[in-house]
Amino acid sequence: MIYFDHNATTAIHPEVLQEMIPFLSEQQGNPASNHKFGRRAQTAIEEAREKVAFSVNAHPSQVIFTASGTESNNTIINGIAQSYPETHFAYSAIEHPCISEPIKSLSRRGFVATKIPVNNQGLLDLENIKNDAKNPISFLSIMMANNETGVIQDLSKIIKWAKKKEMIVHTDAVQALGKIPVDFEMLEVDAMTISSHKIYGPQGVAALIINKKIDMSPFIIGGGQEKGLRSGTENIAAIIGFGKACERTKENMVIIKRDIKPLQTILIVELKKMGAIIFGENSVRLNNTIFFAFNRIDGTTLLTALDRKGFALASGSACSSNNNEPSHVLMAMGVNQEIAQGAIRISLGINSKKTDVETFLVALKSELERLKQLTAIAA
Ligand code: PLP
């Protein structure tokens, strides 16, 4: 199998696994326990916290470990809602469902929520925000890079705009970390989400980075771990792995820029020769992601055919690949529904090879021919 679905999840890097093994195979101790085992676990967690903080230029005290990017996003949204009951939530139309769904759920409970449109290149449309003067937006969540198109937002411009209006700003940097520079302090956001399994770390661990000036109520309450902001015994081995994966993000960025970007270029050129439409083509995008479609070729059918031939791709967001609805991201970008039904995503990883790309292009070409013939017969 050739794996081209790295925006969905990545395999654990061998160096990451190596650091995790002692915490999986020996007595780990509960970090809350007052004995040698407990202290060792606590120290290891704090070392991992430093590595995570360093990778995004934040202070270790700003890092809260959670179990997933989804949990981090739910934590900030629900935590803000509890602390500030008058919050007016705003989010872009292309956010991951783990941002849009918790906000929609709050709006059903009476909170005001605004969905901000994007233009046809997937970029946030600040000019078209309806910001009610009587109830102005007070919390804004904008992703750094989109998981489907790879489009990178002009976050500094957006944050400058939002800060002038005194909004609390959160960014979902899950797809950005390890692919482009992510700097919590420089961006001046109040909160940020990152997730381990997108950066060659284990699944089941993530972080919410939060500016301590934000008075966020905890979402999960209990034993008071993570300074009371996320209770539950820590997933020690996963946290250790996440720390190591964060330590590797700089190296990954070099690989992506040096080795993976040229593969992306080859793919774009060849896909276009075959007649593909590339979504967000005129925007600055992640160097590993290509989201495309062929006219009159159903995405799921092509995806299944390619899967049978040994290629793992996605038809959109990993979490929604089980439903047949066209991508909400493409709908927000104004893409014709029939074209959107054909959408396929390639997301390359640090180990993707030129030969993988070449083999894939040959297989794609023959599958396209076959499907076109079938379509012609059906018509
Ligand atoms: N945010 C973005 C942009 C994502 O792409 C994803 C996962 O695909 C998530 C959040 C959710 O992260 P997790 O899988 O860690 O829950």
List pLDDT tens digits, range 211-265: 988 999 999 999 999 999 999 999 999 999 999 999 999 999 999 999 999 999 9
Task: Indicate the pTM of the whole model.
Answer: 0.96
231 and 284 both lie in a single domain:
no
What's the pLDDT at 319? Answer: 46
In a domain, 377, yes or no: no
DSSP state of 153: P
Helices (H) and strands (E) in the chain, counts: 13, 12
Q: What is the mean pLDDT of the chain?
A: 95
What's the pLDDT at 317? Answer: 45
pLDDT at 310 over 80: yes
Is 319 considered catalytic here? Answer: yes
Alpha carbon of 308 to ligand 1 centroid (Å) = 26
What's the pLDDT at 358? Answer: 98
Task: Give the residue from 196, 212, 247 where a domain finishes.
Answer: 247
In a domain, 114, yes or no: yes
Q: Are 197 and 69 in contact (CB under 8 A)?
A: no
Probe target for ligand 1 pocket from 175, 194, 205, 345, with the most ligand atoms within 8 Å of CB: 175
Q: What is the CATH number of the domain that holds 198?
A: 3.40.640.10
Q: Are 139 and 215 in contact (CB under 8 A)?
A: no
pLDDT at 131 over 90: no
Give me the catalytic one of 254, 319, 362, 374: 319
188 and 260 both lie in a single domain:
no
Q: Are 124 and 116 in contact (CB under 8 A)?
A: yes
55 and 135 both lie in a single domain:
yes
Dihedral sign for Cα 293, 299, 301, 302, please: positive
In total, how many domains does the chain have? 2
Task: Give the residue from 210, 227, 247 where a domain finishes.
Answer: 247
Taking the C-alpha atoms of residue 172 and residue 178, their distance in angstroms, rounded to an integer, is 14
Q: Are 298 and 343 in contact (CB under 8 A)?
A: no
Q: Which range among 79-83, 130-134, 373-377 has the greatest average pLDDT?
A: 79-83
The reply to whether ligand 1 has any atom less than 6 angstroms from the CB of 92 is no
277 and 199 both lie in a single domain:
no
Task: Give the residue from 247, 280, 304 where a domain finishes.
Answer: 247
Q: Which domain holds residue 181?
A: 14-247
What's the pLDDT at 378? Answer: 66
In a domain, 364, yes or no: yes
pLDDT category, 323, cuts 50, 70, 90?
Answer: low
In a domain, 378, yes or no: no
What is the layout of strands, in order, in the sheet containing 168-172?
Answer: 63-66, 206-210, 191-195, 168-172, 139-141, 88-92, 112-116
Q: What tokens were used for 17?
A: 């696994």
217 and 285 both lie in a single domain:
no
The reply to whether ligand 1 has any atom less than 6 angstroms from the CB of 192 is no
Alpha carbon of 284 to ligand 1 centroid (Å) = 20
